Structure 1
Amino acid sequence: MKTYLAATLGILIALSQISCTHSRTTAEKDRPNIILVMADDQGWGDAGYNGHPFVQTPAMDAMAKEGFVFDRFHAAAPVCSPTRASVLTGRHPIRTNVANYGHYLRPQEQTLAEILQSAGYKTGIFGKLHVGSAQPNTPCNPGGMGFDEWDIGLNFFDNDPYLSRNGTVEHYEGKGSVVLMDEALAFIERYKDGPDPLFAVIWFPSPHYPHAEVPDGPKLYEGKKHAGYFREITLLDEQLGRLRSELRQLGVAKNTILWYCSDNGGLLAESSGGRAKKGSIYEGGLRVPSIVEWPGQQLTGRSALPSSTNDLMPTLLSMAGVDARLRHPLDGIDISPSFDGSMVQRSKPMGFWHDFKDGDLTRSDQILKAIMEKQKAGVPRPHDPPRLLKDVNEFPDYPEEFSPGHAAWLDWPWKLHRIEGTTYELYNLESDPGEQTDLSDEEALQQHLEDMQQKLLNWQKSVVMSLNGEDYNSY
């Protein structure tokens, strides 16, 4: 195990609190605001604009009609925390040590928020974090990830949630999805007229189980299977509509990039958009809704380009005109050329890998309530120091060939699966989007199969080396 010195950790914490204060150039002042909105467990087919037979999603439908839709957009992982890490880093989440739910993003990672903060953005995150701590004095809280302000839960939450506002836990009343939108809109209104563009991350806790949040008005979907799940999707949609409306009323919609997606496939295989559902790296566990709008640039259309949450960071930096010095190799690419149709094929295949190691259960309300009580009493808080320094300064030493779980290599239209390092399956997604016909034994495809196997193996080795800390040795 390799251990970073305490002094190094102290420097990282200090640096994470420094925001850039240089005078703004005209180009910097004109940079777009960026707002990322993410659902928790909404499948590709769980929206009206993708053909769901009854769920009501008028805001998503309008956004899809007026904005730009990615039809083959994938979460980087089939569960929540890893995908969130991919959004923040542009890297496959195992590289960042977020190999499953509940693990913390390493503070050595360079985040989108840090880059935008250094480029003059005012940054905030609201809602479900699930890649770090909610307490102060740790590089694993949102402040250490580049966010100036934050009001977050550690995991999913529901009605009357406990949330941490910049390290101080408060108990809120109301529907969690409404509460977090209240906080996000307050952030936007507070800084909309300031000298800096805004970067806001809004990560909903819905439609994750237990589905206790319900929209106001008549009880929807009575008698339908999984009615609670679909009610929470409609509640989330109402809040997305509220955000879009407020951006227009505040006069900032024109120069705001708003990007909506989900963190993994849905809970129902029949509407997941592919084989299986959440928890699987078959298409049903990865394919998710994705819509982006930028009214000032009249961004409209629809693309079948294969893409993923790894692509958000390089794409947004390109759209915002931010030329960043990236410290680590990315798995994502800039897909903004797809907006005008000049990119119709992906230049870089996509790798997926799940069940590398177990998840870490995080009971958000239970943990945050205990922290709040200790904060009020002025006594040492629970989970200190383990949660404050979790995943910070110890690195594993896995063999390069370590390959547990289920991995896949998507080089459109071919998708190769590698299960527990030994079993292979090959599908042509263009002719077989449901991944039903395994072609790995087809004689005519053996050379192609071997080439894909080698590329997947090389990629998995690179991921293990990143996890072992190799990417951090150069600085």
Structure 2
Amino acid sequence: MPHRTYILNILTLLMMVSLSCSDAIKDKEPAEKELPNIVLLMSDDHGWDEVGYNGHPFVKTPVLDEMAATGLRFDRFYSGHSNCSPTRGSFLTGRHPNRYGTFTPGWSIRPEEITVADVLKEAGYKSAHFGKWHLGPVKKESPTNPGAMGFDEWLSHDNFFEMDPVLSRNGGRPQKIKGEGSEVIIDEAIKFIERTTQEGGPFMVVVWFGSPHEPYSALPQDLALYDLLPDSLAEKEVGLTSNTTGEKVTRPLRAVLRERYAEITAMDRSIGKLRTYLEESGNKKNTIVWFCGDNGTPKSAARTGMTLRGQKGGLYEGGVRVPGILEWPSRIKQPISTSAVSVTTDILPTLAGVTGQSLPQRPIDGIDLAPIFDDPTQKRDKPLFFWMFESRKIFHDASEPYIDPRLQEGTTPLAKKMAGKYTRNFRNFKYNEISPRDFAGMRSVMKDDYKLVIDEKYQSDEIVELYHIQNDPGEVKNLADHYPDVVHDMRTELRNWQKSVLHSLTEKDY
């Protein structure tokens, strides 16, 4: 009998080992201290309401809807700025872009900035960037290309791109790649993940889509999904870029939205392709997949979803509130949502926290959001600031360049023609002395449930608005006269923060 019991125990043990191996192949269980893989996704000119899960009446985003239903949904996620280049800087550095002179599109980052790729490299991560860069040229000699900013590999564009994108691989000569733009860069991301996984060690992939930035182009099957948009949308015309000439044209809104929404759906499908790959390769459980937009809906798209005030280029909700979703099955095991204020500057400190890395020794504007993973009712413990620095009033063509202008010349062509050409150049200037006039410009601060907006153009009167943003997301009822003490305290905090930003701009952080 003891011999028989011994045989049964051996068989049971073998069966358990077999089942364990089967589960490991299906989806590898991370070791207790295993570092997570990281995939960071960002759409281009994609407003908060332009996803199905936020109740849009037309846009079809089944993959993002599933992510929102199974992961962490940020109901109040913001871009670090109301335009693309500045937000991309905030995404990489955890710092407001005014600290390093990335004021508007076409202004580069500074080479001394420390990015999330730099931070994670210290933890052994291999990283890659795919898609839109827009923080300087991506060519090899640029001091602000993705490689110079910490990435091991890149296949990127100086600005935005459409179908059959022309991209530079690791700074080489731009090459056209046939295919739908979002799928092209997702396919490249998958190839990188495959190589990195085989080599061992964790990976970070940053994918910045060119969609749904205008001018729009889409596949026939995606366009067909939006053939039945309401005829009433055809009554309004909007201006945008012609895919044929690169010049501005005027077209019926219905036709424009049909193409825009088709681009969003194609991007959504490419995200689904990546998620499927992560699951089939056994990487899904311990991979953070974080998606967000880079600014609010542009004027050319109009708003057809939730009524938010303003649009891209302004600091009302319509300009800076964007979709935000995070998946990490090994940590976030149940679907949750949070109304805590969160922003692209939070990405670096959050990832530094979950990987055990120290923050750069300089002012960081973002916070670690990891506590929200366990308790989504937590509130942000520091104010969130926005500022449209009036760079055109401070700098001019004779200002001292921060980077040799020859190194700021772009090489990757795009559909939109500006200044007589189809490529983009960048700029960044020295800033040596703080002046009282430099505090002007539209600015905003969020604290608790309040949002203060100060709209002050250069050397002109200011407009002060206070909103209870949780109860009034449309920013309709100005409460400034009702709560003067709240306005005073928030203004003081905003002014002190601006002083810190201008101090950084003078290069004191380096």
State the shift of 1:454 in Å: 1.2
Q: Tell me if 1:399 matches 2:443.
A: no
Q: Alignment RMSD, CA only?
A: 2.6
Question: How many residue pairs get matched?
Answer: 426
Cα separation, 2, equivalents of 1:219 and 1:277: 27
Residue 396 of structure 1 deviates from its aligned partner by 4.4
Q: How far off is 1:397 after superposition?
A: 3.0
Rounded Cα–Cα distance in structure 2 between residues aligned with 1:261 and 1:202: 11
Give the equivalent residue in structure 2 for 1:68. 72
1:274 to 297, 304, 308: 308
Equivalences for 1:242-261 in 2 at 5 Å? 242-261=273-292
| Deviation of the 1:431 alpha carbon | 2.5
My pick for the range that moved more, 335-344 or 277-286, is 335-344
Partner residue, 1:306: 341
Cα-to-partner distance string for 1:119-139 (whole Å, 9 max, x where unaligned): 210010000000122111232
State which drifts further: 451-460 or 236-245. 451-460
Moved over 4 A (4+): 26-29
Using a 3 Å threshold, how does the CA distance of structure 1 residues 98 and 454 change in structure 2: closer, same or farther? same
Aligned residues of 1:272 and 1:284 also touching (Cα < 8 A) = no
Aligned to 1:323: 357
Q: Aligned partner of 1:438: which letter?
A: N
Q: Which amino acid aligns with 2:412?
A: L
1:174 is aligned to 2:176: no
Which amino acid is 1:435 matched to? E
Whether 2:467 is the aligned partner of 1:427: answer: yes
Provide Cα deviations, 1:175-219, integer angstroms capped at 9, x if missing partner: 221211121111111111322200100000000101113364661
Q: Distance in 1 between matches of 2:455 and 2:362?
A: 28
Q: Which has the larger radius of gyration?
A: 2
The 1:218/1:175 distance shift into structure 2, 3 A limit, reads: closer
Structure 2, gaps ≥5 residues long: 1-29, 230-253, 397-407, 415-421
| Contact kept? 1:37, 1:202, Cα under 8 Å | yes
**Could you say which residue in structure 2 is the equivalent of 1:230?**
261
Q: CA deviation at 1:159?
A: 1.5
Alignment of 1:91 onto 2:102:
no
Report the equivalent of 1:450.
488
Aligned mates of 1:215, 1:259 — CA distance in 2: 29
Partner residue in 2 for 1:21: none
Moved more, 207-216 or 285-294: 207-216
1:466 matches 2:495: no
Structure 1, 120-129 or 267-276: larger mean CA deviation: 267-276
Partner of 2:370: 336
Query: Does the aligned pair in 2 maintain the 1:124–1:201 contact within 8 Å?
Result: yes
SS of 2:49 mapped into structure 1: coil
The Cα offsets for residues 257-304 of structure 1, whole Å up to 9 and x where unpaired, read as 000010011233343662112111101111111110012224431011
- Which segment drifts farther, 340-349 or 275-284? 340-349
What is the identity, as a one-letter code, of the residue corresponding to 1:69? R
Shift of residue 430 of structure 1? 2.4
Q: 2:325 aligns with which of 271, 291, 295?
A: 291
- Partners of 2:464 and 2:314 lie apart in 1 by 15
SS at match of 1:196: coil
What SS is found at the alignment partner of 2:322?
coil
Distance 1:199 1:29, change over 3 A: farther
Q: How does 1:311-390 map to 2 (within 5 A)?
A: 311-320=346-355, 322-341=356-375, 344-357=378-391, 367-369=411-413, 390=427
Question: Partners of 1:173 and 1:85 in 2: how far apart?
Answer: 29
Q: How has the CA–CA distance of structure 1 residues 427 and 369 changed in structure 2, closer, same or farther, with 3 Å as cutoff?
A: closer
Q: TM-score w.r.t. structure 2 length?
A: 0.79
SS at structure 2 position matched to 1:189: helix
Provide Cα deviations, 1:205-243, integer angstroms capped at 9, x if missing partner.
000101113364661211423111111110110001111
C-alpha deviations, 1:368-411, integer Å up to 9, x for none?
A: 259xxxxxxxxxxx999x86xx538x444342551232100111
Separation (CA, whole Å) in 1 of partners of 2:410 and 2:120: 33
Cα distance in 1 between the residues matched to 2:100 and 2:138: 19
For the residue of structure 2 that corresponds to 1:297, the secondary structure is coil
Sequence identity (%): 42
The 8 Å contact of residues 29 and 197 in structure 1, kept in 2 or not, is answered as no
- Structure 1 alignment gaps of length 5 or more: 1-25, 371-381
Give the direction of change, closer, same or farther, for the CA distance of 1:454–1:183 in structure 2 (3 Å limit): same
Asked if residue 240 in structure 1 is aligned to residue 271 in structure 2, the reply is: yes
User: In the superposition, relative to structure 1, how do residues 414 and 27 fare at CA in structure 2: closer, same or farther (>3 Å)?
Assistant: same
Whole-angstrom CA distance in 2 between matches of 1:95 and 1:45? 30
Structure 1 Cα separation of the partners of residues 359 and 263 of structure 2: 40
Q: Cα 1:246–1:400, aligned 2, differ >3 Å: closer, same or farther?
A: farther
In 1, Cα distance between equivalents of 2:32 and 2:170: 27
273 and 63 in structure 1: CA distance in 2 versus 1, 3 angstrom threshold: farther
Normalised by the length of structure 1, the TM-score is 0.84
